[in-house]
Amino acid sequence: MNRVLVIGSGGREHALAWRLSQSTTVAHTFVAPGNAGTALEPGIENVVLDVADFQAVIQFCQLQNVTLVVVGPEQPLVDGMVDALLAVGIPCFGPNAAAAQLEGSKAFAKAFLAKHKIPTAAYGEFNDVASAKTYLQGQSFPIVIKADGLAAGKGVIIAEDLAQAEATVEDMLEANAFGDAGSRIIIEEFLVGEEASFIVMAAGEDFIPMATSQDHKARDNGDLGPNTGGMGAYTPAPVVTDSVHQKAIEQVIKPTLAGMKADGMPFTGFLYAGLMIDDEGQPKVLEFNVRFGDPETQPIMSRLQSNLDQLCLAAVHGDLAQQDIAWDPRFALGVVMAEKGYPLGNDKGNAIAGLDVVPAGVKVFHAGTATQGDAVVTAGGRVLCVCALDEDLKAAQQKAYEGVQAITWGSEYFRTDIGFKAIK
C-alpha cells in the first residue's frame, strides 16, 4: 500500500489528494501544506512543511515512509524538487528542472517549438527595448507580449495597438514590472480561435491523454475582464473533436515528447499544452505548463476512475505504456468562487457558510481556505471550486451552480456562465 505526499495548497492539490486518497492501493495521503479542504477530508492529513526546503521534504518522506510524491505547482518543479527527491531514491512524479523549462521559460519553449516544427504563433525574443520596438514596427495588431519567466499567470499582455505594445515593452524591460521574469520578453502573433487544455501524463515518449477540458481564463462573464488563473472548467471539451484530438497528439504531444528526449531532457509528469484551435480545427500551442491545470484538475479528477498512484508510479518506473485508464463517461463542470477583487485585492479571513448543505452529488474543492477554530475561512484569491457530474454539460452546470448558491461568505465572486461556449 502506498503512502503519498502531495505538494501544494490549491484546488488542484485538493483534487489530486482526494483522488489519490480514494485509490484502493493508497493507505495514507499527506498534503504539504494543503488547505482547509484537505484538512477536513477523510484519509488526508495536512503537513506543516516548507516546501521550498527540499531537505525538509526529503526528511519527512524518509521518516513517514512515503512511497510516492506528486508535485502540484510549477515553482518547485522549476526549482528542481524532482531532481532532489529522485537523487535520494524517493519516487516523485513530475518533470526535473531541465524539463520544467518548458513552462519556466517562454523563450525556451518557443525555441523548442520552432526547432521541432511544432505549430505555434510566429514570434521574436528580446531583452532590449530598442530592438523590441523595431520589431513592433512591422507587425499587425493586436499583438501578444509575454514575460519570459514564471509570473503567476500575469505575464501575458495583449496589446491592441502600437502605443500600448511599446508601453508594455518598456514596462517589462525597463520598469521591471515583472521583476526578473520580465528581463527577457517574447512578442508573438495574436492567434484567433477557441482555447482548450490538452493534458497528458507522460514518461519519456510514453503518454496517456487525460480527459479533454476547457477553462475560462477571463474573470468576468462572456470571457471579459482581466486574465486570471481560471474561473471554471469542464470536461470533456466538445471543441476537441476526434480530429482535433488526433492532431493534438500527432502534431503537438508526440513531437514534444520526442523532442525533449532527443534534446537530452526526457519529460516525466503532467504535460499541459494550452492550445488555440482555429476554424479549420488546426491546433497551435499557446503555452506549455509542466503540471496539471487549475481548475481543470478538479472536474477531470471528478471523472478519473483509475488508481492515480499506480499511474504516477508506473510513469516514474518507465511502465506507463502498460497502463490503462478509465473515465466516468459523464460530463463534469467546476465553478470557481473567488474573493471579490480577484485577481487583485487581498480580502481574506471571511467565514464560509453553507459548505455542509451543498446538494448531494456536488463536490467542493478548496483552494484559498484556512481553518480558524471550527470555522473555515477564506484565505484570498480563488477560494473554492464547486464541481458536479451529470449526463450532459447543461445538467452538470445546473447542479454545480446549485452548489454555488448554497455557499456564501459575503464577498464571494463567481462567473455565472461557466461552460457557455459548449452549451448552445
The residue among 278 and 392 lying less far from ligand AMP, judged by its C-beta, is 278
Window of 185-193, 218-226, 291-299, 398-406 that interacts with ligand GLY by CB under 6 A: 291-299
Is 96 a binder of ligand GLY (CB under 6 A)? Answer: no
Name the closest residue to ligand AMP (Cβ). Answer: 287
The residue among 114 and 152 lying less far from ligand GLY, judged by its C-beta, is 152
The residue among 216 and 363 lying less far from ligand AMP, judged by its C-beta, is 216
Dihedral sign for Cα 350, 232, 107, 130, please.
negative
Is 190 a binder of ligand AMP (CB under 6 A)? Answer: yes
Please report, as a single letter, which amino acid is at residue 257.
L
Q: Which partner from the list ligand GLY, ligand AMP, none does 121 bind, CB cut-off 5 to 8 Å by kind? A: ligand AMP
Pairing of strands 68-71, 2-8: parallel
Window of 79-87, 95-103, 189-197, 318-326 that interacts with ligand AMP by CB under 6 A: 189-197
Please report, as a single letter, which amino acid is at residue 245.
H
Window of 31-39, 87-95, 184-192, 231-239 that interacts with ligand AMP by CB under 6 A: 184-192
Name the grid cell of 212. 479533454
Q: Which of residues 181-220 bind ligand GLY (CB under 6 A)?
A: 215
CB of 63 to ligand GLY, least distance (A): 32
Window of 21-29, 45-53, 288-296, 390-398 that interacts with ligand GLY by CB under 6 A: 288-296
The Cβ of residue 183 has, within 10 Å, a number of other Cβ atoms equal to 14
Q: Which of residues 150-179 bind ligand AMP (CB under 6 A)?
A: 156
Is 13 a binder of ligand GLY (CB under 6 A)? Answer: no
Is 74 a binder of ligand GLY (CB under 6 A)? Answer: no
Please report, as a single letter, which amino acid is at residue 312.
C
Is 230 a binder of ligand GLY (CB under 6 A)? Answer: yes
Q: Which partner from the list ligand GLY, ligand AMP, none does 191 bind, CB cut-off 5 to 8 Å by kind? A: ligand AMP
- The separation between CA 203 and the C-alpha centre of its own chain, rounded to angstroms, equals 18
Name the grid cell of 10. 490549491
Residue 174 CA neighbour count, 13 Å, CB half: 11
Q: Which partner from the list ligand AMP, ligand GLY, none does 2 bind, CB cut-off 5 to 8 Å by kind? A: none
Is 296 a binder of ligand GLY (CB under 6 A)? Answer: yes
Name the grid cell of 233. 472548467
Q: Which partner from the list ligand GLY, ligand AMP, none does 309 bind, CB cut-off 5 to 8 Å by kind? A: none
- Which residue from 188, 294, 309, 417 is in contact with ligand GLY, where contact means CB under 6 A? 294
CA distance 134 to 166: 10
Q: Which partner from the list ligand GLY, ligand AMP, none does 215 bind, CB cut-off 5 to 8 Å by kind? A: ligand GLY
The residue among 172 and 300 lying less far from ligand GLY, judged by its C-beta, is 300
Q: Which partner from the list ligand GLY, ligand AMP, none does 296 bind, CB cut-off 5 to 8 Å by kind? A: ligand GLY
Is 286 a binder of ligand AMP (CB under 6 A)? Answer: yes
Residue environment code for 258-272, b if the CB has 16+ CB neighbours within 10 A, otherwise e: ebbeeeebbbbbbbb
The residue among 188 and 339 lying less far from ligand AMP, judged by its C-beta, is 188
The residue among 286 and 389 lying less far from ligand AMP, judged by its C-beta, is 286
Chain contacts with ligand AMP (rule: CB under 6 A): 121, 144, 146, 156, 188-191, 195, 217, 227, 274, 286-287
Chain contacts with ligand GLY (rule: CB under 6 A): 215, 229-230, 289, 293-294, 296
